Amino acid sequence: MKNLLASMMAAVFLALVGCAGPLGGMDTQRSTGQAIDDVTIGTKLKAALAADPDLSALKINVDTTQGAVRLKGEVKSLALRRKAEDLARKIEGVKSVDNQLIVTG
């Protein structure tokens, strides 16, 4: 399980770093360092979500821009919505969290 998680994190990191250039679709106002910081935040948060037995990293989309995290997707309860937001706030470098998770249960 740890190898799968590490592989998933590496794949996400490489995919997002590859988009860090001006033609990669990311905001050209950000430096490469900021883009890497955002990828690191997103990767750490996705790993934390994947490690949590109550939350699904596959159902929660994480978007990070200049330290601002946006969570989108579905969770089964208001408590899980709060839990996902709390996990995001604990990640080093996170400046704000826009929790757009929808409670479906």
Domain that holds residue 39: 2-103
Q: Decide if pLDDT at 79 tops 90.
A: yes
Q: What is the CATH number of the domain that holds 25?
A: 1.10.287
- The closest alpha carbon to 48, from 94, 102, 98, belongs to 94
pTM: 0.71
Strand 96-103 vs strand 60-65: parallel, antiparallel, or unpaired? unpaired
- DSSP, residue by residue, 8-42: HHHHHHHHHHHT-SGGGTS-TTS-HHHHHHHHHHH
Domain count, the chain: 1
Contact 99, 71 (CB under 8 A): yes
Q: What's the pLDDT tens digit per position in 18-57?
A: 444 444 444 556 688 888 999 999 999 999 999 999 998 8
Over the chain, what is the mean pLDDT?
82
**Mean per-residue pLDDT for 79-94?**
97
